[in-house]
Structure 1
Amino acid sequence: MTATRYRQDEPSDRIILNRIALFAYHGLHPEEERLGQRFFVSLDVGLDLREAGRGDDWHSTACYAKLTQRVQEIGVGQRFRTIEGLAEAIATATLTAVPRIQRVTVRIEKPAAPIPAIIDGIAVEITRTRADI
């Protein structure tokens, strides 16, 4: 993921989950709905981690396993025509589920996008804040 830019009033601490792999059926084309394909989802969440770090307290952070599970539930359990829609759903769910998270950047990679060119893949990256929900 690229370096996340954050406003001065947002926490600079981050938890980063890189490339959660999914096999899902997102896309516009009938073949995508029928055959499915790989997607990779990365999260970069901004929250204040001082209390968790100073107290070595996992209750004061965001649970990586729960964040990953939610990505998988949305990414595999729902169908989206666009990866923008998938990214938005994941961002909203992340901010809603974990009140201590102030900002989330969601990156969706689609390595086998059906376009007539030789490419390594495409990606969409969005950033949402608590104010957006």
Structure 2
Amino acid sequence: MMRNPEQTIGNLIDKQGVAFISSVDEEGFPNTKAMLPPRKREGIKVFYFSTNTSSMRVQQYKSNPKACLYFCDKRFFRGVMLKGTVEVLEDKESKEMIWQEGDTMYYSKGVADPDYCVLRITIHSGRFYSQFKSEDFNV
């Protein structure tokens, strides 16, 4: 059993260059895609990602807010799956909170670009895999 899940999982997450995020499509099937790491996180409870408002994934989250995040440390063959719900945030404060220099490469109109939004994912539970064992936990 993990002594400090937030620290153990947080350290794993912070060292990864990619995050896998899943949504549920209109037929009820999971859809997974690789994304850049979260722009911000609050422990292992809340994660913030930037994305395009016009994306298929945003439309799926608006229809069904269930989501899954997965982070994998391939060097030590361990990973964590986090389950929760997504809010699509389009307010100025949320967008400014995670805006980074160079984001105009993705959102040419800057922080006010209507095709720029924030995914706020609130986690309720997860499953950690390490040393050939899995462990469920609540957040």
Using the size of structure 2 for normalisation, the TM-score is 0.30
Using the size of structure 1 for normalisation, the TM-score is 0.31
Q: Which structure shows the bigger proportion of residues in strand conformation? A: 2
Q: Which structure shows the bigger proportion of residues in helix conformation? A: 1
